[in-house]
Amino acid sequence: AKVVALGGGTVLRSESRARLLRRGVLVTLTAPAAELVRRVAGNAERPLLARGETVRVIEGLLAERASVYAECHAAIATAGRSVEAIAADVLSVAARPPVPVCLGARTYRVEIGG
């Protein structure tokens, strides 16, 4: 399996999100706002956090993006977990066979598991 890491804003563009959902398995990695603040502390490479008030900015971004992230095939919690455990979960999600719901032009696939 190939894994491509995207910035959190990539899936905000509906065209990009639709293409990603059709062509692969889209997984959201989640963590509480406080954990995300800890991870990015002192990182000047985060343009959306340059405004200051990092906790409030992150909480706002998570709220704004919640419905978009919910469209992903799976969400995996990362707080307090090793990279290896998270990677194993991502690969497990990617390996699940989809179940097609055949409705002609409205056909879609259902992901089973969680």
Domains delineated in the chain? 10-110 (3.40.50.300)
Q: 6: closest CA among 54, 72, 104, 66?
A: 72
Distances from the Cα of 50 to the Cα of 57, 58, 66, 87, angstroms: 10, 11, 22, 29
pLDDT (tens digit, 0 to 9) for every residue of the chain, 114 residues total? 678 888 767 888 888 888 888 888 889 999 999 999 888 877 667 766 666 678 888 899 899 999 888 888 889 999 999 999 999 999 988 888 777 677 777 767 676 665
Q: What is the per-residue DSSP string for 19-78?
A: HHHHHS--EEEE--HHHHHHHHTT-TT-GGGTTS-HHHHHHHHHHHHHHHHTTSSEEEE-
pLDDT value at position 90? 92
pLDDT value at position 87? 94
| CA atoms of 21 and 61, how far apart (whole Å) | 21
pLDDT value at position 48? 66
- Amino acid letter, residue 89: D
pLDDT value at position 112? 66
| CA atoms of 72 and 26, how far apart (whole Å) | 5
- Amino acid letter, residue 55: V
pTM here?
Answer: 0.75
